Amino acid sequence: MTVSLTDARSTELYARALQRLPGGVNSPVRAMRSIGRDPVFVERGSGAELFDVDGNRYVDYVCSWGPLIHGHAHPEVVAAVIAAAEGGTSFGAPTPGEVELADEVARRMPSVEMVRMTSSGTEATMSALRLARAATGREKVLKFAGAYHGHVDGLLAQAGSGLATAAIPASPGVPAAATAATVIVPWNDHEAVVKATQEHELAAIIAEPFAANMGLVPPADGFLELLRERASATGALLVFDEVITGFRLAPGGAQELTGVLPDLTVMGKVIGGGLPAAAYGGPRELMERIAPAGDVYQAGTLSGNPLAVAAGLATLRMLDDNAYACLAGRTASLAAGLREAAADLPVQVVCATGLLTVFFSEEPVTDYAAAAACDLEAFGAWCRHLLARGVYAPPSQFEAWFPSLAHSPEHVERTVEAAAAAFREAL
């Protein structure tokens, strides 16, 4: 399928947006600059498809960057949000839904007994690290090169995601003191982890258990187990950033899939069902350090917002074993099709349940340095050709694709056909 790619309304809207929004967008990767074009302005979504303001239709693999595991405008999620809104959009007071969502999260996440809601993954990460520092009495945090944990000052050092896309090594406005307590090592580098934990007294080791902000780069054999061992041996807390992997890879996220349990877990995306919501959680003895139960302060006017809680509950309650089996099968089918479409081209297709990345690399990608060495120009051309054929892929080599339960075999077939033609034109 080839779309017309008329863009008169998108062009007009982008010109207006540039006058009112920095770069014309409210989050950098949306600008599509890394693939050499202007952004697509979306009018609506339905299931696995997006429709732009110019009437073009796309198979969508961004899916709001992960929250929409059931696709766009799922009837049960929409109904839950409408019902919640009819009762009021925000109260600044406890609601029954917050308790139900916390119960659902604790039932699914092996390491989580208590939960504190926030409105974004950045807030949740910042708060989890504050708690880790309070619990250990230490300041330093170990993170991995290319990992993105939100725009927290101290973690905007060798970050992935949009920072990698825009080739920004850090951000102006971040004080040197904010990153002085951040220790950075390469992902999947066993020796570097051991050395860093020997040389630094760490409050926390923070990691995406399946790195997904340098593209999808799974952990090497034994790597997560090493993080757990080194954290326990040195008195640091292991913090898993499951904003992407939580409730996507498995009912209990990557920690259920791998059996490696962190001390604290950061959650987002799927937990809000497409509305702004995130959380952090862990064992009772740690979480009861948070005010008002304890002395570690964190607050938020819209934390536990009733609309977001309703969307999250509706989303999670539909994610049963059959749903995960379907998502795993659909992701594997898409990956196999893309590998076949690439044939003998220098391309690596990496996948896990509900996640996928096409790396333009001759060699397997195991860390951020390898991801950064990919042929970004060819990737950008490929993405442009995909858009021209009605496939909306993440416009960045450093972002994962998000297959959803709404993607049908027909969507996969259309995608693979478009990808094959796009490979021929891009390489």
Looking at residue 117, what is its pLDDT? 98
- Asked if residues 200 and 234 have their Cβ atoms less than 8 Å apart, the reply is no
Do domains 8-61+321-426 and 75-317 share one topology? The answer is no
Average pLDDT score over the chain: 94
Omega of the bond prior to 292 within 30 degrees of 0, cis? yes
Residue range 75-317 forms a domain whose CATH class is alpha beta
Looking at residue 207, what is its pLDDT? 98
C-alpha distances in Å from residue 112, one per residue of 94, 229, 230, 321, 362: 20, 19, 21, 20, 40
Local confidence band at 169 (pLDDT 50, 70, 90 cut-offs): very low
Beta strands 42-46 and 264-267 are unpaired
- Kindly state the greatest CA–CA separation across the chain: 60
Residue 335 in this model has a pLDDT that exceeds 80: yes
Q: What is the average pLDDT across 346-366?
A: 98
Q: What is the average pLDDT across 243-262?
A: 98
Residue 344 in this model has a pLDDT that exceeds 70: yes
Local confidence band at 140 (pLDDT 50, 70, 90 cut-offs): very high
pLDDT in tens, 49-65: 999 999 999 999 999 99
Structure-block tokens of residue 394? 């993440």
Locus of tokens 């077939």: 413
Domain ranges of the chain: 8-61+321-426, 75-317
What gap in Å lies between CA 259 and CA 31, rounded to an integer? 38
Name residues whose C-beta falls within 8 Å of residue 248's C-beta, 6 or more positions apart in sequence. 66, 69, 269, 270, 353, 354, 355
What gap in Å lies between CA 327 and CA 404, rounded to an integer? 7
Architecture of domain 8-61+321-426: Alpha-Beta Complex (3.90)
What gap in Å lies between CA 51 and CA 45, rounded to an integer? 6
Locus of tokens 């196999």: 336
Name residues whose C-beta falls within 8 Å of residue 89's C-beta, 6 or more positions apart in sequence. 305, 306, 307
Looking at residue 338, what is its pLDDT? 98
Local confidence band at 315 (pLDDT 50, 70, 90 cut-offs): very high
What gap in Å lies between CA 151 and CA 426, rounded to an integer? 33
Give the global pTM: 0.94
- Asked if residues 110 and 123 have their Cβ atoms less than 8 Å apart, the reply is no
Looking at residue 3, what is its pLDDT? 56
Beta strands 49-52 and 42-46 are antiparallel
DSSP H stretches of helix in 209-362: 223-234, 253-258, 284-287, 306-317, 321-342
Of the ranges 112-126, 171-185, 247-261, which one carries the lowest mean pLDDT score? 171-185
Local confidence band at 165 (pLDDT 50, 70, 90 cut-offs): very low
For the annotated catalytic residues, the residue numbers are 148, 241, 269
